[in-house]
Homo-oligomer: A and B are copies of this chain.
Amino acid sequence: MRGSSEAFRFLDKEISLCYFLSILERKKARMEKKTFGVGLFGLGTVGGGVAELLLNENWKSKDYEFVLKKVAVRHLNKRRSISLPSRLLTTNPREVLEDPEIDTVIEVMGGISPAKEIIIEALRKGKNVITANKALLARSGSLIFKEATENNCYLGVRASNIASYRLIESLAYSPSKIEELIGIFNGTCNYILTEMERRGESFSNVLKKAQEIGYTEKDPSDDIDGYDTAHKLVVLLGLTSGHFLPLESLFVEGIRKITLQDILFAKELGYRIKLVAIARRKGEELEARVHPALLPIGRGLARLDGIENGIEIRDETGVEVGLQAPGAGRYPTATAILEDLVCMAEGRKLVSPYQREHLTLKKMEEVETRYYLRFNALDQAGVLAKISGILGSYNISIKAVLQKGERESERSEFVPVIMLTHKAREKDVQNAIRKINSLSVIKGETLLIRVEEGIF
Q: Which A residues are within 8 Å of any B CB, using their own CB?
A: 14-15, 17-18, 21-22, 53, 59, 61-64, 165-167, 169-170, 173-176, 298, 303, 315, 317-326, 329, 331-332, 334-335, 338-339, 342-343, 345-349, 353-355, 456
Copy number of this protein in the oligomer? 2
Q: Which 6 A-B pairs have the closest CB atoms?
A: A18-B18, A317-B331, A322-B324, A62-B355, A175-B338, A166-B170
Contact of A175 (CB < 8 Å), options: B317, B326, B339: B339
Q: A62-B354, A298-B298, A346-B348 are in contact. List 13 more A-B contacts (CB 8 A).
A: A15-B21, A59-B175, A64-B353, A166-B170, A166-B321, A169-B169, A175-B339, A176-B338, A315-B335, A319-B326, A319-B331, A321-B325, A322-B323
With both beta carbons as reference points, the residue of chain B lying nearest to A66 in the complex is identified as B175
A319 contacts across to B, CB distance below 8 A: 326, 329, 331-332, 335
A324 contacts across to B, CB distance below 8 A: 320-324, 456
A298 contacts across to B, CB distance below 8 A: 298
CB distance from A349 to the nearest CB of B (A): 8
- Docked CA distance A338–B170 (Å): 11
Query: Are A173 and B342 also in contact (CB < 8 A) when A15-B21, A166-B166 are?
Result: yes
A167 contacts across to B, CB distance below 8 A: 166
Task: Judge whether A343 and B61 touch: CB under 8 Å.
Answer: no
CB distance from A337 to the nearest CB of B (A): 10
- Docked CA distance A17–B19 (Å): 11
A318 contacts across to B, CB distance below 8 A: 331
Q: List 14 A-B contacts (CB under 8 A).
A: A18-B18, A18-B21, A61-B354, A62-B353, A64-B353, A166-B170, A173-B339, A173-B342, A175-B342, A298-B298, A317-B334, A322-B323, A322-B324, A323-B324
